[in-house]
Structure 1
């Protein structure tokens, strides 16, 4: 018998809609979330306990400065970005409340006015690169709370090529948060 290479026929990659449906049907373990990152379903744990205080401090301040009709939440909701074939479950977000009147389990990423991601060793690369690229074309404000570096960065002014503005401060310093929020975020509790 002579050995020879045999081509294996592969099915076409799943569509964005198929991946979303799969995520919806998944029974992720308590404390975990599923997202669509780089065309793949990625399951990762929710934030660590020590993240609670900075998340609460950020949430309280954002609630006082959010646009009318927008809510500040940490509820695990998947926001979809069909043009990028991505769907993310942000750690904290501010979104138009009307987006949650729809049926289904995936909200429109266009409803977001702010997203905050709290980095971990396993998610830091995705938060700083993958998500920044997608959010940077649509979401007015993106906050990266870098828990390893003890810094927070505000990205704003989205464009087809990504965010045009970036400000970073160390925890303990005030961070200017761009419009539509337009206030100085107190990070002393972080």
Structure 2
């Protein structure tokens, strides 16, 4: 076998599948997650302690209002969006329960009915830009819980060009969550 040197500038970038497999196999410390953002593996913290109360309150409301066959969860699962070559581990999600009967360590983003992302100083840019673009083409409802600005924004009605509708309220004001959930979220405790 003959070895051939490859100049540093000409290395082939890893494929989406290679990055996804690497992210799955990473042994991230407790409280951290690995996601594929902008073609790179990004390790970031799960939401801070101050997010716990609103995160659990939101999960309880979504569990109560979710249609049959959907589950609301805060578990650290990775959802892949193959067409965009991205994979995210949302703070909170509502997905088809049959998704979790399969093999592997990541689920298809098409199973998602709702995603909630709690922003931090390190994730805010990705939550408001990168993830908004990807979720906006597929996920029916996207909630951005902006912990720095004390606001929650609901995006819905996805299209190939992104979400067509949005509403923002300050913490403490009610936020209408559209169908298939159809309820008014009390954000007083946020």
Please give the TM-score of this superposition, normalised by the length of structure 1.
Answer: 0.95
Residue 17 of structure 1, CA deviation: 0.5
Q: How does 1:1-190 map to 2 (within 5 A)?
A: 8-190=8-190
State the alpha-carbon separation in 1 of the partners of residues 8 and 92 from structure 2.
Answer: 43
SS at match of 2:130: helix
State the alpha-carbon separation in 2 of the partners of residues 163 and 43 from structure 1.
Answer: 27
Q: Which blocks of at least 5 consecutive residues in structure 2 are unaligned? A: 1-6
Residue 31 of structure 1, CA deviation: 1.1
Residue 8 of structure 1, CA deviation: 4.2
Instruction: State the Cα deviation string for residues 93-113 of structure 1 (Å, max 9, x = none).
Output: 000000111100010000000
Residue 182 of structure 1, CA deviation: 1.0
State the alpha-carbon separation in 2 of the partners of residues 141 and 24 from structure 1.
Answer: 26
Please give the TM-score of this superposition, normalised by the length of structure 2.
Answer: 0.95
The match for 1:3 is none
User: Paired residues, what number?
Assistant: 184
SS at match of 2:30: coil
The CA RMSD measured in Å over matched residues stands at 0.9
State the alpha-carbon separation in 2 of the partners of residues 153 and 8 from structure 1.
Answer: 44
